[in-house]
Every structure is written in C-alpha cells, then in structure tokens.
Amino acid sequence: MSFLRLIRLFNLVIITLTMIGIADYLLIMNNFQKVIFNPFHYGLLILSTVLIAAAGNMINDYFDIKADRVNKPERVIVSKYIKKRWVIILHWCFNALAFIIGIYLSYRYKSLVFAFVHLLSINMLWFYSTYFKKKLLLGNGMIGLLTALVPLLSVWFFTVLNESNLPYSRYHENTWSYFLNYNFVLLLAICAGIQNLGREIVKDAEDIEGDKLIHVNSLAIKFGSRNAIILALGFIQLPTVCGLLFFWMNKEPLNGYEKYFLMVSAAINGIIFIAYFFNKNIPPRFIHLALKLSMFFGLSSLFSVYFL
C-alpha cells in the first residue's frame, strides 16, 4: 500500500483512462475512415507514460521529505516505509524501461517523437522536483504542460500511424485514413493543462509551512493563501471560455453529448470560484478535491461516444 501511495495509483489510473478514452473517441468518431491502429503498441505507449508519471511522483516525494514531514506527516512514505535508495533505484528503472519503449516505438514507426517526448518528460520531472518547483509559477506551469502532453501524445500516436507513412491521394483507398479530426482532443489537452496549473497553485496554498522550509517561492507564500487561490480559481475559468469558443466555431457538430459533461465541469469551476470569493473559510483541501471532480467530468466527455 505504501508503494501504491508513493506512485499515486489514482493519478496513474486517470492517465490510463484518459489515453484509452482518447483512442476510443478517435476510433469511433472517425469510424468512416480506414484507421491504422495497433492495440499492443498503443498499450506500450500507455505503459511508458504511466511509468514516467510514477517515477516522477517518486522522485518528487524523495526531494520533498523535509516539507512533507510538516505538511502531511501521516503521509510520509520515503525513508519511513521505503528506503531512499530503493526510491532512487525504482525511479531510474521505471524511467529506463519507459525510454526503451519510446525508442522501440520511434524505431517501429520511423519517428523520433516518442523517444523525444519520453526523454523530455523524464528530464522535466527531474528538474521540476530538484529546481523549478521552488520558482514562482515555473513549477506549476511545468506540471500543467506535462498534463497537456498526455492527450497530445495520444494524438501524435494516431498522427504518426495514419499520416506519416504514405502521401495522401484521393485516388488510392489505402491513403484515405489521413486527416482525422483531433480538434476535441486538442481542446481537452488545453483545458487539462490550464486546470492542472490552477490546481497546483491551490495545492501550494495547502503546503505553505512545509514549503517555507525548502525555500519554495510559491504564489501562496508571496501574496498570501487567499489571493493565490482566488487567482487560481479565476484562471481556471479559462477552460469554460475555450469550450464556448470551440463549440461556437466548430462547423461540424460532434455527437452532442460531450458538451453536457463539459458543462458540469465548468459549473463546478464556476461554483467553487463564487463560493470561495464570498467565503474565505472554505479550506484549500476542499477546493482541491472539487477541482479533481471537475477534471473527472472533463475526462468523462471522452466516453460520451458510447451514447451514440
């Protein structure tokens, strides 16, 4: 159980469901196309992504021991239940296996995108934990970017498979699988990145005392917990604006159900912003959980294709 808590099993399940949902969405919404799809290779991509995320969670806890002993002493795992040297060994083993998978996929599909993104993600998580986490907004922005990379990686998988092997020709049936519609997935990637950036700012408001010990320069420490949370919740309203613009500009309507899930997500974001603006006594942890619920409904929109 300690190991599962260390790697953040719940977050890894969300990553897995996100990538499965994107594949299902693209395959069902483009079922008129002759789409190339290898479930085994896509499973490897999901596995490597989960391994990198798990390794990032481990190394983050490794460098946060001092802060965590103040912020959440009952949840400290590194050095208490799992020795520090084993955390480092597992971290490098997970990353090595993920990178090998990335190299294999890049070799198999003659594209450097998988190896490059895997190596980039591994290094971003390392430098986030050791350096950028302590810098104002830089660490939060990196986590938001890495969150957006998860759906983008799925999009690149389909792009490489279906748009990189042969030149498109309307005269050859074996090339008609090109130009899939990725617009909705790209919208979710942008919204997920923004939402997680705001959620990280709220998390910093929970961890002020411990962060001071390791010299973190967060918005909550610099401007106060309440101001940081109001700023984060205001910023989190941007996905609602992006969604409205998307559905207004989208000439070809989608299956019609995605918007209901996104409306629930937007409503949660709006309600928690208004509630906190008028009642500063709402604890940051409650806000953090509400934002997780909002992200869950955003993810659920991918599975709306099953209502077709």
DSSP, res 166: S
Low-confidence ranges of the chain (pLDDT < 70): 34, 163-179, 251-256, 307-308
Residue ranges of domains in the chain, CATH in brackets:
1-169 (1.10.357.140), 182-308 (1.20.120)
pLDDT value at position 253?
Answer: 52
Contact 201, 231 (CB under 8 A): yes
**Phi-psi region at 172: left, alpha or beta (left = phi > 0; alpha = psi -120 to 50):** beta
d(CA 80, CA 40): 38
d(CA 139, CA 157): 27
pLDDT value at position 74?
Answer: 78
d(CA 152, CA 150): 5
Q: End-to-end alpha-carbon separation of the chain, Å?
A: 39
d(CA 108, CA 56): 26
pLDDT value at position 233?
Answer: 93
d(CA 271, CA 262): 14
CA quadruple 205, 211, 216, 217: dihedral sign: positive
| Tens digits of residue pLDDT in 165-199 | 555 555 555 555 556 788 889 999 999 999 999 99
pLDDT value at position 168?
Answer: 52
Contact 156, 116 (CB under 8 A): no
d(CA 307, CA 28): 11
d(CA 216, CA 4): 27
Please name the residue that has the structure tokens 């603006």.
277
CA quadruple 147, 152, 154, 160: dihedral sign: negative
d(CA 81, CA 153): 34
